[in-house]
Amino acid sequence: MARKFQVTFDCADSDRLARFWAEALHYRLEEPPDGFATWAAYWADRGLQEEIPDGYDSVVDPGGVGPGIWFQRVPEGKAVKNRLHLDIQVTEGRAVPVEVRRRQVDAEAERLVGLGATLVRAVPSGGLPDYYAVTMLDPEGNEFCLS
């Protein structure tokens, strides 16, 4: 049986990245456990008040299918290229003409730039005439792709 997992991002501002990725993936901010008005109240109850800022630090798939994502605050900044990144499919794939997919990808890239992402470059087709993708950076410089 396949195992459930979550993806974890090291970051400086967990609330900002949680909000960005919730929008990017059409996820939702994970609500604090029952009995707690905020995540800060939950973590304070666990004795971690000093280490945990107020705000959100995780997002979940509203349909319960995709993995959860947790944003872990760390003191050091990002120093090198990610060894792992998310590839987000925003089109219906090769069943749709590449010109249509290009417009869809570019529109989503523009939306995400408005949310704080940075457009890096269009990914070359690598000789595939029906391929189009863009490479982007989230607000803290983590690479991801749209196709």
Tens place of pLDDT per residue across the chain (147 aa): 889 999 999 999 999 999 999 999 999 999 999 999 988 888 888 887 666 667 788 999 999 999 999 998 888 988 888 889 999 999 998 889 999 999 999 999 999 999 999 999 987 666 677 889 999 999 999 999 999
pTM of the model: 0.89
Place of tokens 């290229």: 81
The encoded tokens of residue 75 equal 């003191």
Residue 54: what residue type? D
Cα 98 from Cα 42, distance rounded (Å): 47
Residue 55: name the closest of 40, 45, 43, 70 by CA.
Answer: 40
Residue 103: what residue type? R
Place of tokens 């090198």: 80
Place of tokens 């749709």: 96
